[in-house]
Structure 1
Amino acid sequence: MQKKITTVILAAGQSSRMGRPKLLLPVAGRSLIAGAVAVAETLSGQNIVVTGAYDREIRRVLVENTTVNLIHNPDWENGMGSSINTGVSAVNPTDCRGILVMLADQPRVDGAFLKKIIQRYDTSPATIVATKYPSGPGVPAVFSPEHYRELIALTSSGGAKDLIRNRGYLVDEIELPGGNVDIDTPEDYLAFTGKTLDDLEGNKTDH
C-alpha cells in the first residue's frame, strides 16, 4: 500500500493587519480555517493544524468538526518557520511519502490544486513541488521526507522559502489557477468576498 501525504496547515499568526482573527472570518459560508481543513481532508492523509495566537478560538471551531491533529506552537511569534518546525516535528517521516505544507488563508487553494501538486510530486524527479508565484516558488508545497531535518530546523519568519529557493534543490513548480489570494487585510477580505468587516457584525460564523 502506498504511503500517504501528511499535510501541515499553518494557522498560528496574530492577524495584525486584519485587526481580528482572520481565520475565523467567513468565506463561502464557513470560516477560513474550516475551509482550509476541508480542502486538506480531501487528500485522505494525516492532517496537522499548527495554532498560535488564537489557539483557543481555532480549537473551538475545529475540535467538533474534524479529525485533525491540533498542535499549539508556543513560539508562534518567532515566525512561520517556527510553526513549520512545530508541525513537521509531529510527523514520522518514515510513515509518509511526502509532507505538504500549506497556509490557512489562501481561499483559492482547493482540493483539485493540492492533488495536482501531489500528482506532480509522485511523477517528478524533484524532491520539492511548490506553487509558482511571480516572486518565486512557495507554499503550498510538497517536500520529500528527505527534507525532514531541514524543515524541523526552520526558525525564520520567511518560512520554507529559503529551503525552496536558495539551497539548490531540484524544485518543480505549478501555477495556481486564478492567481493567488492571501486574505491578510480588511481590503483583501472585501476584494474577495464583497463584504466589509462591519458587514459581519450580527452575522458571525464559527464553522
Structure 2
Amino acid sequence: MRLADALRIPSKSVVAFTGAGGKSTAIGRIARELSDEGRVILTSTTKLHHRQSSLARSHIIARTPDDLGTLPSMLEESPSVLVTGDTAKGEPKWVGVDASTLEALHAINQKIAGTLLIEADGARGRSIKAPADHEPVVPHFADLVVPVVGLDAIGAPLNDEWVHRPERAAILLGMAEGEVILPEHVFALLNHPSGGLKGIPDEAEVRVLLNKAETRESQEHGRAIANLLLTAPRMRATVIASVSQDQPVQEVFGRVAGVVLAAGDSKRLGQPKQLLLWRGKPLVMHAVQAGQGAKLSPIVVVIGAEGEAVRKALENEPVLIVENEAWSTGLSSSVRAGLASVEGNSEAVVMLLSDMPFVRAELVEALIKEHRRTLSPLVVPRVGGRRTNPVLFDRSTFSALKAVRGDQGGRILLEQFSKVWVECDETILFDLDTPEDLERLKELE
C-alpha cells in the first residue's frame, strides 16, 4: 500500500505535516508516489536543510509571490517542484515561504489540479515534539493535516535527545523531564489542543502518522496508540508505518461502523425472524453482539416491519436505532438508511444480517484486520470458494453503495470494486429464510 493511499490524499488537495519523526521523509515519499499520476508542489512554512532539496525533482526560490511566475511551466516539465524561500542567514537551510506566497501556491495548485504538500513546523531531527507558541503554521485552506510521531521514542526518557522542546511536552503531559515516554503519553500529546491538534483548521481532516514502526515492539506500541486514537473524535485515522522501507505502510486504523439490517417482514418464514429466540436471545441480538465483540462503533440497527418490537428487544443495548419507512421497497433502502447515519465519521462499515446467528465477533474482527492491512474497497468472507456475509465496505465504496436500488444489498459492488477474501468456517453459511431452516436452527440450539 502506498503512503498516499493510506492517508487518503485526493488530487487537488492541500496536506500539511506537523510534529516530528519523519515529516520530510514522508513528504518526499508521497511526492514520488503522486508524481507518477499528477503534479506535486512541495513547500515549507519552516526552515528546510539544503539537503532536502532532493525531496522534489526541481527547486525554485520564491521570496514573494511574484517569483512564482515560472512555476506552472516548471511543473509541465517536472512532476514535482519544491518551493522555498532564500538561504537562511548563517545556516545551510532554506527559509520557509511567507503567507502570501503560500496563498499563491494554493491558487496555482487549484488551477493545475495537483497536490500541495506543506511541512508546517520543524523538529530538529527529534522523534516527538511539543509546538512553540508560533507553531505550527498550518494554512486555513489545508484539507488534511498529518501529525507525525516517531515510535522509536517510546521507552526513551523525555529529554532533548528524543523530544523537541521537552519542557513544553512535560507541562502538557503533567510529567517530569526524564520520565519514560509511554504509548499513553504519545496519545495524550497528539490529542492535546496545545499539542498535536494545535493550529489545525476546523474543516481539515486529521490523520496521524506513527512512523518508525520497525520492530515488533514498536508496532505493538503503534497499535496501542492507534486504538486510543479511535476514541478521539477529531482523529479520522492512524497510519502505522516505516516510511523509509520499500513497503512503508503496515496498518491503517480507522473507525469501522456496524449496520444491522433488521427491517424485513420475513414473508417466506411467516414470522419476524429478527425476533426469534435462539439460545435465549432474539436473532437480532446475536448480530448486535457480534458487532459489539469486534468493537464496531457505532452500531446502527435499521428497523422497519416489527420495528417497535425490535426496538423493545434492544432497549438496553448501546445501539442507534434507525427507522426505515421505505423498508418495503427492498433491502437497498435499509442499506442506505444505515449508511447515512454512519458515513460521516467512518472509514468503513460492516453490514450485518439479522438472520445469520453463527456469525461471531471473531469473523468481524478478521474482516477489520484485513481491512487495516490492505484498505481494500471490499473485504468478503468466503467458504470453500463461496462468498457469504457479512461484508466490510470501505468508505471508497459508499457512493456506489448508496446508488443501489431494489431488493438487493451490496452484492452488485463485487463486480465494480476490488476485494480481498477472508476464509472462514462453513457454519456461518446458515441463514434463516424458510420454516425448514427454522427447524434446522432449533436442532442446533
TM-score by length of 1: 0.85
The structure having more radius of gyration, on CA atoms, is 2
What is the Cα-based RMSD across aligned positions, in Å?
A: 1.8
**Structure 2 contact 343–398 (Cα < 8 Å) conserved:** no
What is the 5 A alignment of 1:98-113? 98-113=348-363
Query: Which ranges in structure 1 are unaligned for 5 or more consecutive residues?
Result: 196-207
- 1:14 Cα offset (Å): 0.5
- Equivalent in the alignment of 1:177: 425
What is the 5 A alignment of 1:1-207? 1=229, 2-44=253-295, 45-63=297-315, 65-93=316-344, 95-124=345-374, 126-132=376-382, 137-164=387-414, 166-167=415-416, 169-179=417-427, 180-194=429-443
Amino acid at match of 2:433: D
- 1:122 Cα offset (Å): 1.1
TM-score by length of 2: 0.41
Secondary structure at 1:139 match in 2: coil
Q: Distance in 1 between matches of 2:273 and 2:317?
A: 19
Amino acid at match of 1:185: T
Q: Distance in 2 between matches of 1:135 and 1:81?
A: 25
**Structure 2 contact 304–324 (Cα < 8 Å) conserved:** yes
Amino acid at match of 1:72: E
Secondary structure at 1:155 match in 2: coil
- 1:170 Cα offset (Å): 1.1
Amino acid at match of 1:23: Q
Q: Distance in 2 between matches of 1:84 and 1:37?
A: 16
Secondary structure at 2:389 match in 1: strand
**Structure 1 contact 12–76 (Cα < 8 Å) conserved:** yes
**Structure 1 contact 5–43 (Cα < 8 Å) conserved:** no
- 1:139 Cα offset (Å): 2.9
Amino acid at match of 1:151: L
- 1:119 Cα offset (Å): 0.7
How big is each residue's C-alpha offset from its partner over 1:73-121, in whole Å with a ceiling of 9 and x where there is no partner? 111111111110111011134x222111111110110000110111111
- Equivalent in the alignment of 1:202: none
Higher relative contact order (CA 8 A, sep 6+): 1
Distance change >3 Å, CA 135–CA 103, structure 1 → 2: farther
**Structure 1 contact 11–50 (Cα < 8 Å) conserved:** yes
- 1:46 Cα offset (Å): 0.6
**Structure 2 contact 383–425 (Cα < 8 Å) conserved:** no
Q: Distance in 2 between matches of 1:151 and 1:133?
A: 24
Distance change >3 Å, CA 152–CA 26, structure 1 → 2: same
**Structure 1 contact 137–161 (Cα < 8 Å) conserved:** no
**Structure 2 contact 351–391 (Cα < 8 Å) conserved:** yes
- 1:16 Cα offset (Å): 0.6
Q: Distance in 2 between matches of 1:27 and 1:48?
A: 21
Query: What is the identity percentage for the equivalent residue pairs of Structure 1 and Structure 2?
Result: 26
Q: Distance in 1 between matches of 2:266 and 2:363?
A: 25
How big is each residue's C-alpha offset from its partner over 1:115-168, in whole Å with a ceiling of 9 and x where there is no partner? 01111111125211012267853431111111111222222212110012x21x
**Structure 2 contact 375–394 (Cα < 8 Å) conserved:** no
Q: Distance in 1 between matches of 2:256 and 2:375?
A: 17
